[in-house]
Amino acid sequence: MDPVPLTLACGPLAVYLLWLGTVNLRRRPLVVTGTIDVAGLAAAVSGLVVVGPMNLFLPEAAGRRFGPLAWPLLLAFYGLCIVLYVLVARPRLVIFNVPPEQLRQMLEGLARRLDSDARLAGDAVQLPQLGVQLHLEAAMAMRNVSLVAMGDRQSHSGWKRLERELRVSLATVEVTPNPRGFTLLAVGLLLAGWPLVELVQTPSHAVAQQLRDMLRM
């Protein structure tokens, strides 16, 4: 594969994996909203999208008419698709680097403190006074847990309060580093180093030509 497309494809993904590896090696869990999680994943695969579908299906007529300006239009369309998904998706909180059982115990006490009418059944939690209904989805290998809304009747303010209280509660929780974080760091470094080595070994005129070919210049 040519070094320019390879760098574009692997660069954002390498940054995301390095960040994810660092998070999993911390001794504190990290809480992010579903919006931030989706935005991070979208940014991570953006290079693959550019090199793959966008480059493959870019209309030749658009390339000839707009030249390099066609790419900002495609990227804007990609961004709008992500925004649309975020707007229609149900509320969600993602907790990185926490054992599911430890989070369940902490969440049970937090739910009863926030809502005296809280009901818990297995992986489902209902907070009627906050207008929040959710269930837990655990990724055991990565020690990630998602709190996903159940049903369409959800209170935005209730989810914001749950997020704030969850951050405060988890700030005092200490966990052991996840050994898989080292694997994520290793893969991230590989994806970052391999394209750079290929790029350095390629003559500058060849790199410029590959870039012009991609941009339809």
Residue-wise pLDDT for 99-147, tens only, equals: 888 888 889 889 989 988 889 888 899 999 999 999 999 887 788 999 9
Mean pLDDT of the chain: 88
Q: What is the structure's pLDDT at 183?
A: 94
- Measured CA to CA, the distance from residue 71 to residue 216 in angstroms comes to 10
Indicate the SS3 state at residue 135: strand
Asked whether residue 208 carries a pLDDT value surpassing 70, the answer given is yes
Q: What is the structure's pLDDT at 4?
A: 85
Query: Closest Cα partner for 21 from 195, 188, 194?
Result: 188
- Measured CA to CA, the distance from residue 68 to residue 1 in angstroms comes to 22
Name the helix (H) or strand (E) containing 155.
Answer: none
Q: Does residue 30 contact residue 190 with C-beta atoms inside 8 Å?
A: no
- Measured CA to CA, the distance from residue 156 to residue 145 in angstroms comes to 20
Q: Label residue 211 by pLDDT band (50, 70, 90).
A: confident
Q: What is the structure's pLDDT at 61?
A: 67
Q: What is the structure's pLDDT at 153?
A: 84
Q: Does residue 185 contact residue 158 with C-beta atoms inside 8 Å?
A: no
Burial of 184 (0-12, 13-18, 19+ CB in 10 A): buried
> For residue 216, what are the CA distances in angstroms to 31, 55, 206?
42, 10, 15
Name the helix (H) or strand (E) containing 99.
Answer: none
Provide mean pLDDT across the span 19-31: 93
Indicate the SS3 state at residue 2: coil
Half-sphere exposure of 171 (CA within 13 A, CB side): 7
pTM: 0.87
pLDDT tens-digit map of 68-95: 777 888 899 999 999 999 999 999 999 9
Asked whether residue 62 carries a pLDDT value surpassing 70, the answer given is no
In Å, the largest CA–CA distance within the chain is 69
Torsions phi, psi of 32, nearest 5?
Answer: -130, 155
- Measured CA to CA, the distance from residue 203 to residue 152 in angstroms comes to 56
User: What share of the chain in percent tops pLDDT 90?
Assistant: 52
Q: Does residue 46 contact residue 78 with C-beta atoms inside 8 Å?
A: yes
Q: What is the structure's pLDDT at 217?
A: 61
Q: What is the structure's pLDDT at 39?
A: 94
Q: Label residue 216 by pLDDT band (50, 70, 90).
A: low
Q: Label residue 172 by pLDDT band (50, 70, 90).
A: confident
> For residue 148, what are the CA distances in angstroms to 123, 134, 144, 176?
10, 5, 13, 25
Q: What is the structure's pLDDT at 63?
A: 64
